[in-house]
């Protein structure tokens, strides 16, 4: 069946009639939508939209994450047309998923970007769809949180990262990928008592009360124990999951702006994310994939897998 379909299907990213089911196109050809989902701005009938925000002008080190959404989409085609491994259900058959494309913005007016991201996310959420976002640098998570909190109220945060991104910054005019969660706490967007950061391996003397499971603890106790600890912290609270690809060790994700050794392996990240099944996830993002430093494309492959796990986590409690 798949072979016969492969002979006939062409660019289902633009020709598919619905938002469910697999595409059997050649992985090396066609329009590179995420998992070959249909592109759609009108989200009527869509459960969850995958959207790109190709912005990287808030980085402290190497740029390039603006190219992340495109690279992640291309890498995602390698996963089709199989059901995601280890979940016991096929998210592409059971959930209506659309690729919303990338947010448009004026690259020469970076100060306008935070408000534009918030409005863009509000437009998606306002159509009744949930949202998984492909970054972009980690600064995009703050306006995304603002849009989600406007719908759901304050959220628990599950952040997988090498850095806490809670360095102090009380300048409301600054947009920095290392201070977004400091501002999120100060704005009351995050339920600190229900939030946790995993994979941390850089020093920040004030974690603002957010629980930290550093990379050493992940290595010592294993991903299953970490997932159990995260679920215990978050409990039944609605949560947002932000995955900075530099949570992975540079051996598994060299294509990122601020790599730090001693990080998680891809296997650890996969096991941990699957162990979080049951969280009340309302949205999430994967950020900091920087293709210029990723000549073999392995970071984009990891980012695509993370995004699929986010789709599965969202769908798990809504099947």
- Residue 237 belongs to domain with CATH number: 3.40.800.10
Other Cβ atoms within 10 Å of 101 Cβ, number: 17
> In whole angstroms, how far apart are CA 142 and each of 25, 122, 131, 150, 154?
36, 13, 14, 12, 13
Is 171 known to sit in a ligand binding site?
no
206 annotated to bind ligand: no
Query: Does residue 214 carry a pLDDT above 60?
Result: yes
Classify residue 2: in a domain, yes or no: no
Is 152 known as a binding-site position? no
Tell me: pLDDT of 202 over 80: yes
Please state, for a pLDDT cut of 90, what percent of the chain lies above it: 82
3-class secondary structure, 45: coil
165 is in an annotated binding site: yes
pLDDT of 1 > 80? The answer is no
pLDDT tens profile 131-180: 999 999 999 999 999 999 999 999 999 999 999 999 888 888 888 888 89
Please state which of the ranges 2-6, 168-172, 212-216, 249-253 shows the lowest mean pLDDT: 2-6
Note the pLDDT of residue 268. 98
Q: What CA–CA distance (Å, rounded) separates 240 from 281?
A: 6
Residue 161, annotated ligand binder? yes
Total structural domains in the chain? Answer: 1
**What's the predicted TM-score (pTM) here?**
0.95
The answer to whether residue 24 is domain-embedded is no
Q: Is residue 268 part of a domain?
A: yes
C-alpha closest to that of 35 among 304, 301, 284, 303:
304
- The predicted pLDDT at position 168 comes to 86
pLDDT value for 92: 94
- What value does the mean pLDDT take over residues 223-250? 98
Domain membership of residue 307 as a residue range: 39-316
Structural domain contains residue 13: no
CA distances from 259 to 60, 166, 174, 187, 308 (A): 12, 18, 23, 29, 23
Please indicate, yes or no, if residue 265 is contained in any of the structural domains.
yes
The answer to whether 219 is annotated as binding is no
Judged against a pLDDT cut of 60, whether residue 209 lies above it is answered with yes
Report if residue 8 sits inside a domain.
Answer: no
Q: Is 318 helix (H, G, I), strand (E, B) or coil?
A: coil
Residue 12 lies in a domain: no
Residue 124 belongs to some domain of the structure = yes
């Amino acid at each position: 069946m798949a072979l016969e379909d492969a002979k006939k299907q062409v660019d289902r990213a633009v020709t598919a009639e619905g938002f469910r089911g697999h595409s059997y196109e050649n992985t090396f050809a066609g329009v590179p939508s995420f998992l070959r989902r249909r592109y759609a701005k009108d989200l009527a009938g869509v459960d969850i939209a995958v959207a790109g925000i190709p912005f990287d002008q808030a980085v402290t080190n190497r740029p390039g994450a603006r190219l992340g959404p495109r690279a992640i989409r291309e890498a995602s085609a390698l996963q089709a047309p199989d059901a995601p491994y280890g979940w016991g259900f096929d998210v592409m058959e059971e959930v209506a998923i659309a690729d919303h494309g990338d947010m448009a913005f004026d690259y020469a007016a970076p100060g306008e970007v935070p408000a534009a991201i918030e409005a863009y996310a509000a437009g998606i959420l306002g159509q009744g769809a949930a949202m998984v976002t492909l970054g972009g640098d980690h600064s995009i998570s703050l306006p995304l949180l603002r849009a989600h909190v406007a719908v759901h109220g304050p959220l628990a945060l599950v952040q997988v990262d090498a850095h806490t991104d809670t360095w102090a910054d009380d300048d409301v005019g600054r947009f920095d990928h290392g201070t977004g969660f400091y501002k999120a706490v100060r704005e009351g967007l995050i339920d600190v008592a229900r939030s946790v950061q995993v994979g941390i391996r850089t020093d920040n003397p004030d974690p603002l009360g957010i629980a930290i499971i550093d990379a050493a603890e992940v290595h010592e106790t294993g991903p299953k124990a970490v997932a159990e600890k995260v679920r215990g912290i978050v409990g039944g609270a609605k949560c947002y999951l932000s995955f900075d690809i530099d949570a992975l060790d540079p051996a598994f994700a060299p294509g990122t702006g601020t790599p730090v050794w001693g990080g998680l392996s891809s296997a650890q990240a996969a096991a941990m994310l699957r162990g979080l099944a049951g969280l009340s996830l309302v949205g999430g993002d994967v950020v900091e994939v920087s293709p210029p430093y990723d000549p073999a494309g392995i970071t984009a492959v990891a980012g695509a897998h993370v995004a699929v796990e986010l789709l599965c986590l969202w769908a798990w409690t809504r099947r």
